[in-house]
């Protein structure tokens, strides 16, 4: 899922201001404000989302939702795990739903009573509690194969019975953070994984009717296959600072696979892997294992924010983090993995825009045949 921790903000076309999180869309458009709960901390990072799950004065009739597009269609009959962190403020956790329709929710004409949520969380699904009243709820479900979008909120046709209002407007508010949707058995990402993510980031309308995600054309694939002579590969800087020349020993052109890992894999401005997105690496390992390879090159890249030296070190540190993840699982030998830090020197998009900078922050895994 894209921007599952809500850390990246969208600058909307209509007001040229920070609106909803990147890749997510609100129903209704406006944000939900909490005025009476003091200083609320997110579960991780800087941001979370407020959702009205009920209104004491207008039960069932006023609620808010947020939705996104799933990066890969779910595989029919496969088991998936859905989890999220929720803060109920001054209430006990009562009910929360995840709906996964085939079409964009704003195109659906279903009423709440006609919606069948794929995942219905109750207090029995709480598996962990943390400071600040944050609760982790988690549940498995079997996919039908038609799931394409994902909407969060209270889709029940019945009013909540045991909750008190969270603000003066009578809203019962749940705060959500760190959403995760993972297959129980990891498999390689679909071809449209990265293209769908970019499609979501390219959609910048947040306050205009009849503007839909699929109006934005898909632009790229996650896996790029292209002829690449080995002697044209970038020099690989090891963690100790030496230039590794082992990748320059063969002369015949070969076809390599390049897996592109987005920067959401890491904590903000850090080389620490975000556990919510570790499934991206698990999926990459499935792809690597299915390929006959002689060497694996992991290359980190950044945007142009920050100094050259800082970006170069950050990109190398991120490549090293990916290497450590692969070798820690004892599925890949460190002897066949070379890491490189390229900093901001190899952008794939223009750094002048936020979406361009976001695409430039990446780690590439080159599977050398």
d(CA 279, CA 59): 38
Residues 6 or more apart from 111 whose CB is under 8 A from it? 157
Task: Give the model's pLDDT for residue 351.
Answer: 85
Query: 223-368: what CATH class?
Result: alpha beta
Q: How far apart are CA 280 and CA 282, in angstroms?
A: 5
In this predicted structure, the answer to whether residue 164 has a pLDDT above a threshold of 50 is yes
Q: Cis omega (within 30 of 0) on the bond before 28?
A: yes
pTM of structure: 0.61
The arithmetic mean of pLDDT across residues 144-159, rounded, is 94
Note the pLDDT of residue 130: 92
CATH number (2.60.120, 1.10.287, 3.10.50, 2.70.98) of 9-205 reads 2.60.120
Phi, psi of 312 (to 5 degrees): -65, -45
Least confident stretch, 41-45, 180-184, 238-242: 238-242
Q: How confident is the model at residue 283 (pLDDT cuts 50, 70, 90)?
A: confident
Q: What is the mean pLDDT of the chain?
A: 82
| Burial of 115 (C-beta count, 10 Å sphere; 0-12/13-18/19+) | middle
Per-residue pLDDT of 232-281, as tens digits, reads: 334 443 333 333 333 333 344 445 678 888 877 888 788 888 887 788 88
Average pLDDT over residues 87-101: 93
Q: What percent of the chain has pLDDT over 90?
A: 34
Read off the pLDDT band of 153 (50, 70, 90). Answer: very high
Please state, in angstroms and rounded to a whole number, the distance separating the CA atoms of residues 173 and 112: 18
CA-CA distance, 77 to 72, in Å (whole number)?
Answer: 15
Domain residues of the chain, as ranges?
Answer: 9-205, 223-368
Q: Which two tokens stand for residue 46?
A: 């800087």
């Amino acid at each position: 899922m894209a921007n599952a921790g809500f850390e990246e903000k969208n600058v909307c076309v209509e007001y040229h201001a920070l609106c909803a999180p990147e890749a997510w869309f609100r129903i209704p458009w406006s944000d939900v404000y909490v005025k009476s709960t003091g200083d609320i901390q997110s579960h991780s990072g800087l941001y979370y989302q407020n959702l009205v799950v009920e209104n004491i004065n207008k039960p069932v009739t006023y609620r808010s939702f947020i939705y996104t597009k799933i990066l890969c269609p779910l595989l029919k009959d496969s088991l998936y795990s859905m989890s999220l962190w929720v803060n109920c403020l001054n209430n006990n956790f009562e009910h929360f739903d995840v709906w996964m329709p085939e079409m964009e929710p704003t195109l659906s004409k279903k009423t709440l009573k006609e919606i069948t949520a794929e995942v219905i969380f109750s207090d029995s699904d709480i598996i962990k509690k943390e400071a600040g009243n944050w609760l982790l709820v988690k549940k498995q479900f079997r996919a039908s194969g038609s799931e394409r979008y994902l909407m969060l909120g209270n889709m029940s046709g019945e009013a909540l019975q045991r909750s008190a209002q969270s603000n003066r407007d009578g809203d019962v508010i749940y705060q959500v953070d760190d959403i995760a949707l993972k297959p129980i058995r990891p498999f390689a990402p679909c071809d449209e994984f990265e293209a769908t993510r970019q499609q979501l980031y390219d959609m910048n309308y947040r306050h205009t009717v009849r503007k839909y995600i699929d109006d934005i054309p898909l632009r790229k694939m996650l896996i790029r296959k292209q002829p690449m002579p080995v002697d044209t590969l970038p020099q690989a800087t090891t963690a100790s600072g030496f230039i590794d020349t082992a990748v320059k020993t063969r002369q015949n052109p070969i076809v390599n696979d390049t897996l592109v890992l987005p920067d959401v894999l890491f904590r903000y401005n850090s080389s620490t892997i975000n556990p919510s997105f570790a499934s991206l690496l698990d999926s990459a390992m499935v792809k690597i294992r299915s390929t006959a390879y002689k060497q694996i090159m992991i290359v980190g890249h950044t945007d142009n924010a920050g100094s050259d030296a800082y970006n170069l070190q950050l990109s190398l540190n991120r490549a090293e983090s990916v290497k450590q993840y692969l070798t820690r699982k004892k599925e890949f030998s460190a002897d066949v993995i070379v890491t490189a830090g390229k900093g901001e020197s190899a952008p794939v998009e223009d750094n002048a825009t936020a979406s361009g900078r976001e695409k430039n922050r990446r780690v590439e895994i080159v599977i050398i045949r």
